[in-house]
Amino acid sequence: MTRNKKIILTLILATILFCASFFYVKNDICCMFASTMHRGFPYQILLITKGTDDFQEAQKVYHLNDLELLKQGWELKAGPVFGPPWSIPFNLLFYFAISWGIIFILERMKRIYDQK
């Protein structure tokens, strides 16, 4: 496989993995009912949050989807506003490294298969 093809395949796969990482959800209730829903892996990039005095209201993070929470007045934060400033570039580099490793392994397996 040519070098340009490898780079293009790696970038495409990294983009797909980065977008798929938003399906990873971590819910959390903390500190007198500050309820949050984190999206993204390994560092969270999207956050849906609400501070409340009612524990039942805080538990909605476990039962409702994103749109329903936003319709009920929950706050959406995106980007590294609430996390480390390097969270988005780190996630992109993380998935680029994983993609490069997958392409490398598949290329080696193809070479071994072609030799037999």
Helix, coil or strand: residue 39: strand
Give the mean pLDDT of the chain. 87
DSSP 5: H
Residue 103 clears pLDDT 70, i.e. is over it: yes
**Residue among 72, 79, 42 nearest 58 (CA):** 72
> Which residues make Cβ contacts (< 8 Å) with residue 25, sequence separation at least 6?
37, 38, 39
> So what's the pLDDT on residue 28?
87
> So what's the pLDDT on residue 83?
63
Q: Are 50 and 57 in contact (CB under 8 A)?
A: yes
Question: What does the pLDDT look like over 16-49, one tens digit per residue?
Answer: 999 999 888 888 888 888 888 888 888 888 888 8
Calpha distance 103→116 (Å, rounded): 20
Structure-block tokens of residue 61: 């993070």
Residue 81 clears pLDDT 80, i.e. is over it: no
- Mean pLDDT within 84-93: 83
Q: Are 78 and 45 in contact (CB under 8 A)?
A: yes
Helix, coil or strand: residue 27: strand
Q: Are 107 and 1 in contact (CB under 8 A)?
A: yes
> So what's the pLDDT on residue 47?
87
